[in-house]
Amino acid sequence: MSFAPPRRLPWLLGLSALILLADRFTKTWVAAHIRLGSAIPVIPSVLRITHVANHGTSFSFFADSATPHLVQWTLIGLLSLAAFGILVVMVRLGCRVTCTSVALALILGGTLGNLHDHIAYGSVVDFIEVHIFSYHWPDFNIADIANVSSLCLLLLGAMTRTEIVQPQFPEAAQ
């Protein structure tokens, strides 16, 4: 009799849902409390909470396109395909919690957060503005943080080939 490893997929999907909920909550709060184009200083000259409508993709690429509807539908299509592909890979990796599976869960949550905005509003709410010395980082949101964090995890996993959690299973009885 052999033991099947326990599925970790529900936990990974829970992480994706947590990212999506945090993203939705923060964007909704910003939209309700900060006028579009305005900002609240948190750390003067370093960090502000803003309200920016990003009609493009990361770093506002394609935001000023001559064909905004084409960009919008292309982004929706690509984000939908990405979310579906990530979900398929997560199902296949769902028995283990690794750097890769956690990264995929973060990417799925972030992708769904920004996909929701593109479908519902035609733009993504970005609200975190960072200045480091004279450099101004493009405004971003929780979904973007999840996506960048996932890339760091993927890099870490690739460099170390270590797992976050190494599940131990009893040996199959002979």
Say which of 23, 117, 126, 139 is annotated catalytic: 126
pLDDT computed for residue 174 by the predictor? 47
Q: How many Cβ atoms sit within 10 Å of the Cβ of residue 25?
A: 11
The whole-number average pLDDT for the span 89-95 is 81
Q: Which residues on adjacent β-strands are paired with residue 40?
A: 49
Quote the strand ranges of the chain, DSSP E. Answer: 39-43, 47-54, 124-132, 135-140
pLDDT surpassing 90 at residue 71? no
Q: Tell me whether residue 126 is one of the annotated catalytic residues.
A: yes
| Per-residue tokens: 23 | 């993203």
Highest mean pLDDT (candidates 21-35, 90-104, 123-137, 146-160): 21-35
pLDDT surpassing 90 at residue 4? no
Say which of 23, 117, 139, 144 is annotated catalytic: 144
- Contact residues for 50 (Cβ-Cβ < 8 A; gap 6+): 30, 34, 38, 39, 40, 126, 127, 128, 129, 139
pLDDT surpassing 50 at residue 72? yes
The whole-number average pLDDT for the span 32-56 is 93
- Contact residues for 119 (Cβ-Cβ < 8 A; gap 6+): 76
pLDDT surpassing 70 at residue 36? yes
Q: Are 109 and 98 in contact (CB under 8 A)?
A: no
CA dist 76 and 136 (Å) reads 28
Q: Tell me whether residue 144 is one of the annotated catalytic residues.
A: yes
pLDDT band at 62 (very low <50, low <70, confident <90, very high): low
